[in-house]
Structures are given as structure tokens and as C-alpha cells.
């Protein structure tokens, strides 16, 4: 099966807090890594040891939201007792393989979590403050072109890749 398009760049993106476009964020948002929890396996019949991935279990996932300066939207996210939901929508520009025409694919990332850290930033004339809010994530959904690619909901024990429930058998056995 041939690749439909060659991804080139994120043409543009916006970030939304509870459905409302955020103001004051910077032009770059680093998305979190998915790092599975592992357990060292060793013993009889094994030459040495290896790290076994514990299916569906992930380490702490932190999402940093960078702001140019503190503003009203910044302070809507800083309560450690209230969960926030953010949606990042982006357009991935690509070259279509068969025609070499430019095309776009939509990307949507939804994440939920509570404030773990706030960085007010630095005050300097004619400069951005470099403010930031860090969220401890318990939920993340990544879609490409309207198709679910990854859904992780730590609280509700949901873990799907390309729409396939990775924990169905485990839930049936427990």
C-alpha cells in the first residue's frame, strides 16, 4: 500500500480551553511522551534480564502550556483542584505522492489534567515573560484526519491504538 502523502510541516495550529480559543500562548507546544511502566524480568530459563512493558500502564505525563505573558486564560488553568480540558487543532501540510499537489490533514489532540506547576516567568522591558502552566495528564486523545490513533484514559482504564482496545482481554480476565 502506497503512502498517500508526505508530511512536511504543521502549517498552523490553535489551542482551545474548554472549547474557547486560548490567547497568549506561544507558537510551540511540546506534546508529552508515552513512557510505559516496565518491570525487570529475570530468572530461570532467561539469559540475563529484560524490561517487560506493563500493557496500558504509563508513567507520569506532563503537558506544558507556554504563554508569552500571563493573562486571563493563564489563570483559568492554575487551580490544582480543578481539571482542565485543552484541545489542540493543527493542520499538517503534506505533498500528495501521486500528484505532488499540496494537501492538508487535520490533527486533533485532546488532553485533560490538573495543574501541577505554574511558572509566572520573567519581567523585562520589551520582552515576553515566558510564563507556563504544567498539567499532570490523566487523559489524552490523538486523532489524525478524523480517525482515532491513540486514546489513553488512566482513570477509566481505557487504552486504544488505532481504535483497537488494548486492554479488552485483561478486563475480561479480571
- The low-confidence residues of the chain, meaning pLDDT below 70, are 1-3
Whether residue 50 is contained in a domain is answered as no
Tell me the whole-structure pTM to 2 decimals. 0.89
Which residues are CB-neighbours of 51 under 8 A, at least 6 positions away? 38, 39, 40, 41
Q: Which domain holds residue 144?
A: 5-32+60-173
Whether residue 138 is contained in a domain is answered as yes
Q: d(Cα 172, Cα 174) in Å, to the nearest integer?
A: 6
Which residues are CB-neighbours of 174 under 8 A, at least 6 positions away? none
Q: What is the pLDDT of residue 3?
A: 58
Q: What is the pLDDT of residue 97?
A: 81
- What are the two backbone dihedrals, phi and then psi, of residue 122, each rounded to the nearest 5 degrees? -120, 140
Whether residue 27 is contained in a domain is answered as yes
Q: What is the pLDDT of residue 27?
A: 84
Which residues are CB-neighbours of 25 under 8 A, at least 6 positions away? 15, 65, 66, 67, 68
Whether residue 44 is contained in a domain is answered as no
Output the CA–CA distances (angstroms, integers) from residue 137 to 15, 33, 59, 93, 111, in the order listed: 16, 11, 10, 28, 7
Q: Structurally, how many domains does the chain consist of? A: 1
Q: What is the pLDDT of residue 75?
A: 94
Amino acid at each position: 500500500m502506497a503512502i498517500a502523502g508526505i508530511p512536511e510541516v504543521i502549517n498552523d495550529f490553535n489551542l482551545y480551553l474548554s472549547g474557547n480559543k486560548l490567547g497568549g500562548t506561544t507558537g510551540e507546544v511540546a506534546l508529552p511522551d508515552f513512557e510505559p511502566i516496565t518491570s525487570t524480568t529475570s530468572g530461570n530459563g532467561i539469559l540475563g534480564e529484560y524490561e517487560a512493558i506493563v500493557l496500558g500502564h504509563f508513567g507520569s505525563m506532563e503537558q506544558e502550556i507556554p504563554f508569552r505573558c500571563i493573562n486571563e486564560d493563564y489563570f483559568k488553568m492554575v487551580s490544582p483542584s480543578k481539571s482542565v480540558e485543552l484541545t489542540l487543532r493543527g493542520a499538517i501540510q503534506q505533498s500528495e505522492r501521486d500528484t505532488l499537489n499540496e494537501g492538508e490533514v487535520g490533527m486533533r489532540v485532546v488532553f485533560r489534567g490538573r495543574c501541577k506547576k505554574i511558572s509566572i516567568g520573567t519581567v523585562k522591558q520589551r520582552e515576553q515573560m515566558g510564563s507556563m502552566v504544567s498539567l499532570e495528564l490523566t487523559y489524552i486523545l490523538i486523532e489524525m484526519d478524523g480517525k482515532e490513533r491513540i486514546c489513553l484514559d488512566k482513570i477509566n482504564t481505557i487504552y486504544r491504538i488505532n481504535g483497537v482496545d488494548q486492554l479488552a482481554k485483561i478486563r475480561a480476565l479480571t
